[in-house]
């Protein structure tokens, strides 16, 4: 049994962590922080957790996080880096669901996130928490940078092709769509129902914060730089990411066999039968990534379809998966979730 704390328990990723951890047989939730809602019962704010979580929110300044074995940061960018050193020094492991430790190049991070990094020396120690690539490093990590939602869907789709060296890595395209929960639980005009429903739009075409994260991950797989065009879109969904990925083949290959072989031992990546078109609703509420690979008209183009729930495999579920690996639990503990339908 491990003692767990959550910093920032009132956002969508925070409540999703609570949903998953409440039924984890090896987790004892010790503290859940909220600066604005300290003293309020978690179940009062989130009635879905009545009977599962009986703790109140604690003020961050009064929360004794050093008593925990692990602390999750489900906070905006720039928060975890302020407290991580103190926690690590106290022997507490950290999983950051924001972007503070994802990018190894500090200059690139500061450019995209618009602030000075508070503990740049810890970035080199942080392990990027994509289990399908870094499982061995995650096992011994003190500090895990949980991947972003778009980067998870895009990387899992491209990885088999890049590892096998069967596509031109200089001209990759990722056309990705996300539901509105990806913007977080805050009052924002663009996320209002009347603004986002019955509509569909691209954003961040000139550059999105997840672009350098995706390129960094794909470059590690390829062992060289990749060329990537990444265009995100907002869809009138609550949950879900659908990434349509394009590349040019440089040699003939059995794509279906390649993907099935790469992910045959991965519990949370489902390579669907040839000709499939995975839907976001097929992963809603689960930690699954469903992938289908196509070769239109038998030509030299490859199209990969990759879908995840942005709050689970794209955030809280992947964080729990990383926790399980770090503490030697079965990787699917508390994550054997059947997707919700309808």
pLDDT value for 55? 96
Separation CA 170–CA 74 (nearest Å): 34
Find out whether 114 and 131 touch, Cβ atoms under 8 Å. Answer: no
Domains along the chain? 2-125 (3.40.50.720), 149-310 (3.30.360.10)
β-pair partners for 110 = none
Separation CA 240–CA 313 (nearest Å): 10
- What does R_g of the chain's alpha carbons equal in angstroms? 20
pLDDT value for 253? 97
Where does residue 206 rank: exposed (0-12), middle (13-18), buried (19+ CB within 10 A)?
exposed
Find out whether 131 and 263 touch, Cβ atoms under 8 Å. Answer: no
pLDDT value for 192? 85
pLDDT value for 188? 83
pLDDT value for 142? 98
Q: How far is CA 124 from CA 4, 58, 102, 213, in A?
A: 24, 31, 10, 15
Task: Of 208, 210, 297, 289, give the one whose Cα is nearest residue 249.
Answer: 297
149 belongs to the catalytic site? yes
Separation CA 261–CA 45 (nearest Å): 45
pLDDT value for 193? 86
Query: What kind and span of H or E run contains 110?
Result: helix 106-113
Give the angle 235-149-191 at the CA atoms, nearest 5°.
35
Beta strand spans in the chain (E): 2-7, 27-33, 57-58, 70-73, 93-96, 127-128, 143-145, 172-178, 201-202, 228-234, 241-248, 269-271, 289-294, 301-308
Give the angle 63-96-17 at the CA atoms, nearest 5°.
75
pLDDT value for 186? 81
- Pairing outcome for strands 241-248 and 289-294: unpaired
pLDDT value for 326? 98
pTM score, whole prediction = 0.97
The pLDDT profile of the chain, 342 residues, written as one tens digit per residue, is 999 999 999 999 999 999 999 999 999 999 999 999 999 999 999 999 999 999 999 999 899 999 999 999 999 999 999 999 999 999 999 999 999 999 999 999 999 999 999 999 999 999 999 999 999 999 999 999 999 999 999 999 999 999 999 999 999 999 999 999 998 888 788 888 888 899 999 999 999 999 999 999 999 999 999 999 999 999 999 999 999 999 999 999 999 999 999 999 999 999 999 999 999 999 999 999 999 999 999 999 999 999 999 999 999 999 999 999 999 999 999 999 999 998
From 68, 119, 149, 289, active-site residue: 149
Separation CA 277–CA 307 (nearest Å): 10
Find out whether 18 and 53 touch, Cβ atoms under 8 Å. Answer: yes
Residue with tokens 């690996």: 325
Separation CA 35–CA 59 (nearest Å): 5
Q: How far is CA 117 from CA 106, 123, 301, in A?
A: 7, 9, 40
User: Which is it for the CA torsion 144, 145, 147, 148, positive or negative?
Assistant: positive
The token duo for 91 is: 């022997």
- Pairing outcome for strands 2-7 and 70-73: parallel
Phi, psi values for residue 32, rounded to 5°: -135, 120
DSSP tag of 340:
P
Burial 33-64 (b: 16+ CB within 10 A, else e): bbeebeeeebbebbeebeeebebbbbebeebe
């Amino acid at each position: 049994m491990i003692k767990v704390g959550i910093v920032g328990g009132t956002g969508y990723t925070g409540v999703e962590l609570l949903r998953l951890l409440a039924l984890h047989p090896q987790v004892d939730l010790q503290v859940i922080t909220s600066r604005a809602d300290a003293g309020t019962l978690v179940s009062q704010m989130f009635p879905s957790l009545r009977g599962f979580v009986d703790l109140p929110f604690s003020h961050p300044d009064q929360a004794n996080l050093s008593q925990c074995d692990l602390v999750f940061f489900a906070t905006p960018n720039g928060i975890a880096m302020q407290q991580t050193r103190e926690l690590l020094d106290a022997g507490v492991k950290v999983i950051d669901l924001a972007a503070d430790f994802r990018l190894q190049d500090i200059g690139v991070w500061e450019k995209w996130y618009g602030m000075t990094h508070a503990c740049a020396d810890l970035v080199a120690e942080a392990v990027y928490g994509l289990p399908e690539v870094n499982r061995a490093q995650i096992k011994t990590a003190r500090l895990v940078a949980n991947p972003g939602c778009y980067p998870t869907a895009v990387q899992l789709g491209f990885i088999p092709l890049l590892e096998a060296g069967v596509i031109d890595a200089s001209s990759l395209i990722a056309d990705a769509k996300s539901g509105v929960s990806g913007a977080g639980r805050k009052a924002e005009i663009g996320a209002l129902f009347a603004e986002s429903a019955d509509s569909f739009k691209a954003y961040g075409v000139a550059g999105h914060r997840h672009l350098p994260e995706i390129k960094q991950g794909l470059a590690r797989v390829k062992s060289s730089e990749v060329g990537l065009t990444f265009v995100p879109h907002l869809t009138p969904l609550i949950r879900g990411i659908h990434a349509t990925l394009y590349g040019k083949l440089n040699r003939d290959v059995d794509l279906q066999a390649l993907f099935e072989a790469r992910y045959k031992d991965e519990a949370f990546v489902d390579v669907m039968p040839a000709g499939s078109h995975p839907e976001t609703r097929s992963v809603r509420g689960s930690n699954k990534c469903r992938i289908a690979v196509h070769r239109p008209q038998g030509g030299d183009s490859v199209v990969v379809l990759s879908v995840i729930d942005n709050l689970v495999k794209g955030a809280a579920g992947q964080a729990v998966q990383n926790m399980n690996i770090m503490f030697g639990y079965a990787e699917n503990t508390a994550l054997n979730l059947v997707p919700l339908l309808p």
